Amino acid sequence: MMIFIAIGIGFFYVVTHYVGDIQKEDEVYQNSGYQNEHKYDQYYTTDSIGQNIIDVTLADSATQLEAWNRSPIKNEFLDLFPDFDTMRAFIKSRVRGASLIKKLTAKVNEVEDKFFSGAMNAEQAKRALENIK
């Protein structure tokens, strides 16, 4: 009985692992879920010192925001809260795209002002930084 379970788990792993690889390599087999999941991968890159960055320079404003909201570096950015100076430095060094930089910097400044004035608590401030529109 245990042998059949082990064989089943092995088969499941092999199928799921190789189907994912096939979807990545062959456009014919890519389903819409795969394409939606990897729609913004073209904007994520590595800079000259090996840090992950988002480069949305040539994208329109709506695409820039959507790429940021799905970005793998967004959580890194949010982990810097409540160090607003470091957050601004993060934006300056790891984000490319004038419109996105402007919106992120404005949001950080707005949240910083409200947070230190007492109009927002830490949870509200972090939620505001997560939901940039």
- Find all residues with CB under 8 Å of 60, minimum gap 6, and list them: none
Instruction: Work out the pLDDT band at 21, boundaries 50, 70, 90.
Output: low
Weakest mean pLDDT among 37-51, 58-72, 76-90: 37-51
**99-115 mean pLDDT:** 92
Report the pLDDT value the prediction gives residue 26, as an integer from 0 to 100.
53
For residue 105 the two structure tokens come to 């910097």
